[in-house]
Structure 1
Amino acid sequence: MTEDEGESKGGRGLPTRTDIDKAYQWRLEDMYASIEAWDTDAEAVLKDSQELSTLAGRLADGAENLLKALKLQDEIGKRLSMMFAFARMRRDEDNTNATYQALTDKAMSIAVRVEGAKAFLVPEILTIPESQLRTYLQTNSDLGLYEFVLDDLIRQKAHVLPAEQEALLAAAGEVTSAPSHIFTMFNNADLKFPMVIDDDGEEIELTHGRYIHLLESTNQNVRKGAFEAMYKTYGQNRNTLAAVYGSSVKKDIFYSGVRKYESARQAALDDDNVPVSVYDNLIDAVHESLPALHKYLRLRKRVLGLDELHMYDIYTPLVSEMKVKIPYSEALTTVGEAIAPLGEEYQRIARQGMQSGWIDVYETKGKTSGAYSWGAYGVHPYILLNYQDSLDNMFTLAHELGHAMHTYYSHANQPFVYSGYTIFVAEVASTCNEALLTDYLLKRTDDRQMRAYLLNHHLETIRGTLFRQTMFAEFEKLTHQHAEEGGALTPEWLSDTYYKLNEEFFGAECVVDREIAIEWARIPHFYTPFYVYKYATGISASTALSQKILHEGPDAASRYLDFLKSGGSDYPIELLRKAGVDMESPEPVRATLKQFSEMVDELASILEG
């Protein structure tokens, strides 16, 4: 599942699903025509899980047993992924529907039982001598399908524990996930914010959802009030939040130590076989290009007419929102034309999919908000939208269609075992589509206001995804290093470290308000260690690839489609290298930041020329 937002919401005046034409609803019956069909698969999954568990202790007896175990794992995975996708997406249609709440819970319960049944598999494979595994591969041609899987297990063998110890670590998972769970409950359920003044001069309660909207206000007093109220609230809870985050970091260090990694960062990156140098190159390249960010901040200060630019002035748009009404039918046409550089086949499949049950289009009562793309092997991908007739929503369509087409090509060209792709590459296809849409719209408008709006939109995407996420990534690197060296993650150390990073990124052109020092305390992604850097590398890779597609034509597009078709059949760094971008080099990041700098210049010429 690739999810870009998502909490359930309903509302007065919203239509129900029965009010929406079927043409604008996804066709989940393409997965299961009935709950009875779902139950049949559930029975098959449990039966196959029992059969798999009978192979425990027998994998070294011969290639046939190993092949049978791996095939059973695939069959279970195919069915279970479709079961879970169907249940969750049915629930997402209307989160108040008790039937699909229960079906989702049932799917999760079955998944837990499956994990228990196959827990023996990896540790037992790794007890088989490598020479014996190689002999299996040579003598059993059917086992050749799993050669990359087995090679990857062998690569990580030094970090896998004996079966009993792996079982113990798995059993501790509920305990070690406590910091993340505590933060989520505290942040979303218990934390209460004060009243602030909105654009209409009315008192409203500050919430997470309202915060960014208030920071986008054209009234600086509104922005300042929301900013100070938000961080005062976190500051009042700094000791608790430092203890929770510190516990999360210690958990990361514990697991990396137990698995014999040099650091928590190395352990996190090793899942994708990504060298630590990629992480460091990203940070170094962004620091080299901070002058481009500072140039953008100077433009922001001039356009907003401010004597001083503060941290709460960074989000308000430089160009007022274009009141352009873009009906869904027009968005389909425009996006369909914008992706033409990817070739006729890509364009044909995407257009057909957009009009044949892939997409759930409109907001309805109880429907999950935001947007995501999801798919299950053996059926076409799906997209959840809550489409409003706006330019931003057209970009969301392009973004999610990129995810869906990646899934489509991956599933169509790979066996199940290699049909999934890692988070490291997941955002490449989506942001590549956005880049193509931006290029298409810029080439077809002479309206200076529209051009400025599009440039501002793209600049904010890069600022938020490449600069901001890299600053987060550097903070994670520093916190884990400090703890690994025996340092205490006190609220003072965390806040001072975070404040210094903000000074380095923004201080040349911005008043770095002291309140920003506590921002670390409100970032949920920090509880998934060393994750955010993938947003920055993803947009860098997609920018490089989209430029090749636009300037080199069909050959570059063909390499890109081969990348989409590759799924998880190789390591992400290698897949991107074959597509034409080397993420072990800092050059893709530098090229994206060079484009950022050039767009700042163009936006300045429009707004100030």
Structure 2
Amino acid sequence: MTESAKQPKQVPKREEIEAKYKWNSQSIFPSDAEWKESFATLDSDIDKLVALKGKLCDGPETVAKMFELDDQIDLKMDKLYTYASVHHYENMQDSTYMGLTDSAKNKWADIASKTAWIRPELLSLPQQTLDSYRAHESLKPWLRAYDEIVRYKPHTLSTEEETILSSASSALNASKDTYALLQNADMKFSEIEDDDGNLVVLSKSNYSGFLQSKKQSVRKAAFEMMYDTNIALKNTLSNCLYGNIKKEILYARQRKYNSCLEASLFDDNTPLSVYNSLIDAIHDGLPTFHQYLAIRQRAMKLDRLDMFDLYVPLVENYELKVSYEEAVEWVLASLHPLGEEYCSVAKHALSSEGGWVDVFENEGKRSGACSISNFRDIPYICLNFNGTLDAVFTLAHELGHSMHSYYSDRAQPHATSSYRIMVAEIPSTFNECLLFHYLIDKARAEGNKQLELYLVNSRCDDYKGTIIRQTQFAEFEKVIHAMAENDEPITPDSLSKAYKDINDVYYGDTALAATTPRPHTLTADARIAFEYLRIPHFFYNFYVYKYATSMSVSDVLAERVLRKEEGALERYFTLLRAGGSKDPLDIIADAGVDIRTPQPFIDAMTSFKGYVQQLDELLKE
């Protein structure tokens, strides 16, 4: 970095930050010594479980014992991993907790290898035997886990074959691991000028800030450097993605699925129609998105939109600074529709006495935000609170995750307390929706047009980023997996063409809009065809569509609760308390939304249309 460059941000050491807002780790283990004592007992626990190998045919009591031992190990491992990983997040430079976390990860892998026999051995029993076991009294506490295993009978290999696949997982993940190393360790960027003319080294962490610059030249330079750096490695990065797809094809074909997508959806017992109806509904709603792009273009006074123009706030809000105490006040006020009990628990959680939240940034602390919960212990909410409005929404989001765990853990036994990702993002985005409505009402009551405009613009961007963009990614995943399964070439050329074709549809590239005119004049920089190179989610096997489904559901549920629709609040609490006791789609249906039909996705795009209209009206005032 040159002398004219900005100096690195000075981050306080942990002992210098406000100590009252820290996670209470003693809720899990009082000290590292107790952690190590518990870890040392694992091998004995595992040996007891492995001793049942070959004996599941003895009767349902033996199977029940197997589930009991497995659950005890899982509970103990959850506590061990949570304690280690949270302390690692507090200071990622501390080698002690890095070591404890690695020990826990290695033990998980060891357990997986030593218990790979359970599913194939159980499923080797005749169906008549499996049915008789299910009816036995001893298996009642374990029926959910039992049914989940039996459901996989058509897709389970022999014990020897399952052991081979389990043992090969590390080697088969080499492409994914290589991609992560390239992106996070080996990829280097050069300097670019910031808004003030200072030379700053571009990084993944500051890239989004450059895209929010008011100067198009700054945004363009950051975009070009980010993409050119990735494109320089396009052959290697593309081959990493192809290697990961080949791994998924191997698993899917060995386990007799028709496709990788079907294999992925089977885990949540989700029909292919849900995935397809999401894509179809978003396609039908794209005219509204194109109208939003036209509004953005007009507000930014641009002759032509490009992909690097889509993240600039349409109103500056940098002067709004919120203390953590004020953020807590706003979040708690926004949660009032959820009732006295929920708000009481949330108030305690966010207080210094509650000890759920590690609030402030410090040297070595994990970046970003997350929520980690362990069965009936104090959840951990990691923040790097910086006093912005976005940070307030992050607080509401992560609190939604932790409160979900709180209610699930107290309503369910450990075996059915863990919820799936498809359900997990509903309470978090639900809380964000409540906070939005609280703050928009506050802004209107105070006549604060700037805040109102900022909030509506932010809400539109939430739909763009969470529903529209994630569905675009989901469609790309579907297309490239189908290409590989049909033995079509998977190269940088074929991948970039597939990505560009889909991007043109979603963003309405005017270069292709001669027959269907768009209300904007977006023409994407050719580099956007290689955006897939920098998206790590494509290595997580059809994961991103769940973001879009979750926000679509939470939007409907929150609106019903805010309208005080009869039974809406009670139905929402059934979701919070359900844990993993049912399939995700059944839990969502019990809350009052059926995503087996396209209607929730259509409703979400209708809501988006309303926010776009509000944005248009506010900008014209």
Q: What's the TM-score, normalizing by structure 1?
A: 0.96
Q: 1:13 to 1:496 in 2, by over 3 A?
A: closer
2:270–2:585 contact (8 Å) kept in structure 1: yes
Structure 2 match to 1:473: 474
Instruction: Tell me by how many angstroms 1:235 deviates.
Output: 2.2
Mapped to 1, the partners of 2:484 and 2:301 lie a distance apart of 43
Instruction: Tell me by how many angstroms 1:68 deviates.
Output: 0.8
**One of 333, 336, 345 as aligned partner of 2:332:** 336
Instruction: Tell me by how many angstroms 1:315 deviates.
Output: 1.0
Mapped to 1, the partners of 2:582 and 2:311 lie a distance apart of 39
2:393–2:432 contact (8 Å) kept in structure 1: yes
Mapped to 1, the partners of 2:585 and 2:544 lie a distance apart of 17
Structure 1 match to 2:529: 517
Q: Does the alignment pair 1:351 with 2:347?
A: yes
1:513-548 Cα shifts (integer Å, max 9, x gaps): 211111111111111111111111111111111111
Q: 1:173 to 1:85 in 2, by over 3 A?
A: same
Instruction: Tell me by how many angstroms 1:553 deviates.
Output: 4.3
**One of 288, 306, 325 as aligned partner of 1:310:** 306
2:585–2:594 contact (8 Å) kept in structure 1: yes
Mapped to 2, the partners of 1:181 and 1:118 lie a distance apart of 24
Structure 2 match to 1:426: 424
In structure 2, give the amino acid aligned to 1:206. Answer: L
Structure 2 match to 1:362: 360
The within-5 A match list for 1:50-449 is 50-139=47-136, 141-355=137-351, 356-445=354-443, 446-449=447-450
Instruction: Tell me by how many angstroms 1:196 deviates.
Output: 2.2
Give the 3-state SS of the residue equivalent to 2:53 in structure 1.
coil
1:249-279 Cα shifts (integer Å, max 9, x gaps): 1211111111100001000111111111100
Mapped to 2, the partners of 1:22 and 1:245 lie a distance apart of 43
Mapped to 1, the partners of 2:42 and 2:571 lie a distance apart of 37
Structure 1 match to 2:610: 598
Mapped to 2, the partners of 1:470 and 1:496 lie a distance apart of 18
Structure 2 match to 1:505: 506
Instruction: Tell me by how many angstroms 1:223 deviates.
Output: 1.0
Q: Does the alignment pair 1:488 with 2:484?
A: no
Mapped to 2, the partners of 1:466 and 1:40 lie a distance apart of 46
Q: 1:243 to 1:320 in 2, by over 3 A?
A: same
In structure 1, give the amino acid aligned to 2:68. Answer: K
Mapped to 1, the partners of 2:101 and 2:595 lie a distance apart of 38
User: What stretches of structure 2 of length at least 5 have no aligned partner?
Assistant: 1-7, 510-517
Point out the more displaced range, 156-165 or 369-378.
369-378
Mapped to 1, the partners of 2:202 and 2:16 lie a distance apart of 33
1:46–1:114 contact (8 Å) kept in structure 2: no
Mapped to 2, the partners of 1:528 and 1:336 lie a distance apart of 34
In structure 2, give the amino acid aligned to 1:542. Answer: S
Instruction: Tell me by how many angstroms 1:552 deviates.
Output: 3.1
Instruction: Tell me by how many angstroms 1:211 deviates.
Output: 1.8
Point out the more displaced range, 399-408 or 233-242.
233-242
Give the 3-state SS of the residue equivalent to 1:552 in structure 2.
coil
Q: 1:58 to 1:101 in 2, by over 3 A?
A: same
In structure 2, give the amino acid aligned to 1:133. Answer: L
Give the 3-state SS of the residue equivalent to 1:23 in structure 2.
coil
Mapped to 1, the partners of 2:42 and 2:409 lie a distance apart of 21
In structure 2, give the amino acid aligned to 1:502. Answer: N
Mapped to 2, the partners of 1:594 and 1:372 lie a distance apart of 30
1:466–1:539 contact (8 Å) kept in structure 2: yes
Give the 3-state SS of the residue equivalent to 2:62 in structure 1.
helix
1:341–1:554 contact (8 Å) kept in structure 2: no
Give the 3-state SS of the residue equivalent to 1:128 in structure 2.
coil
Structure 2 match to 1:558: 570
Mapped to 1, the partners of 2:128 and 2:450 lie a distance apart of 66
2:292–2:612 contact (8 Å) kept in structure 1: yes
Point out the more displaced range, 379-388 or 12-21.
12-21
Q: What's the TM-score, normalizing by structure 2?
A: 0.94
Give the aligned length: 598
Mapped to 1, the partners of 2:149 and 2:171 lie a distance apart of 26
Give the 3-state SS of the residue equivalent to 1:204 in structure 2.
strand
Mapped to 1, the partners of 2:529 and 2:132 lie a distance apart of 58
Give the 3-state SS of the residue equivalent to 2:371 in structure 1.
strand
Q: CA RMSD in A?
A: 1.4
Instruction: Tell me by how many angstroms 1:561 deviates.
Output: 0.8
- Which protein, 1 or 2, shows the higher relative CO under an 8 Å CA cutoff with sep ≥ 6? 1
Point out the more displaced range, 575-584 or 351-360.
351-360
Mapped to 2, the partners of 1:53 and 1:281 lie a distance apart of 44
Give the 3-state SS of the residue equivalent to 1:26 in structure 2.
coil
User: What stretches of structure 1 of length at least 5 have no aligned partner?
Assistant: 1-10
**One of 531, 534, 540 as aligned partner of 2:543:** 531
Give the 3-state SS of the residue equivalent to 2:563 in structure 1.
helix
2:112–2:166 contact (8 Å) kept in structure 1: no
2:86–2:380 contact (8 Å) kept in structure 1: no
In structure 2, give the amino acid aligned to 1:150. Answer: Y
Point out the more displaced range, 124-133 or 310-319.
124-133
Mapped to 1, the partners of 2:481 and 2:108 lie a distance apart of 32
Mapped to 1, the partners of 2:292 and 2:471 lie a distance apart of 17
Point out the more displaced range, 233-242 or 574-583.
233-242
Mapped to 2, the partners of 1:582 and 1:406 lie a distance apart of 20
Mapped to 2, the partners of 1:256 and 1:427 lie a distance apart of 26
1:95-130 Cα shifts (integer Å, max 9, x gaps): 222322222222223222222332211111111223
Give the 3-state SS of the residue equivalent to 2:135 in structure 1.
helix
1:418–1:567 contact (8 Å) kept in structure 2: yes
1:50–1:117 contact (8 Å) kept in structure 2: no
Instruction: Tell me by how many angstroms 1:333 deviates.
Output: 1.3
In structure 2, give the amino acid aligned to 1:459. Answer: C
Instruction: Tell me by how many angstroms 1:21 deviates.
Output: 4.4
1:181-226 Cα shifts (integer Å, max 9, x gaps): 1111111222223332221123332222222211111001111111
Structure 2 match to 1:4: none
Mapped to 2, the partners of 1:12 and 1:454 lie a distance apart of 28
